[in-house]
Amino acid sequence: MSEYTLITGATGFVGSAVARILKQRGHKIRLLVRAGADLSNLEGLDADLVTGDLTAPESFVPALPDAAICFTSLPIIASGSPTPP
């Protein structure tokens, strides 16, 4: 079994930097990305991409197998605020 480091919010500025640092440090990384997300911050990064959304828990279940650690890099969304695009 090969363990992954799961990163959510990896398409953003901070999340993509975290992903690159972890990859440089030898982590096997899996990134949870929203459908239609701009993946330009991940260009050239060797990673397993799984499409899902933290606002729909059933959608990110496929990202969980063999994930030993999870880093979450998300904006703070106040209750009642619209979900980010």
Q: What is the pLDDT of residue 81?
A: 55
Q: What is the pLDDT of residue 77?
A: 61
Lowest mean pLDDT, pick from 3-17, 32-46, 64-78: 64-78
- Tell me the residue type at 8: T
User: How far is C-alpha 43 from the chain's CA centre?
Assistant: 14
Rounded to two decimals, the pTM is: 0.81
Per the CB < 8 A criterion, the answer to whether 66 and 1 are in contact is: yes
How far is the C-alpha of 63 from the C-alpha of 49, rounded, in Å? Answer: 8
- Complete domains list, the chain, with CATH: 4-72 (3.40.50.720)
Whether the CA torsion 50, 36, 82, 12 is positive or negative: it is: positive
Q: Is the pLDDT of residue 82 over 60?
A: no
Q: What is the pLDDT of residues 34-71, one digit of tens each?
A: 999 999 999 999 999 999 988 888 888 888 889 999 99
Paired tokens of 26: 């030898």
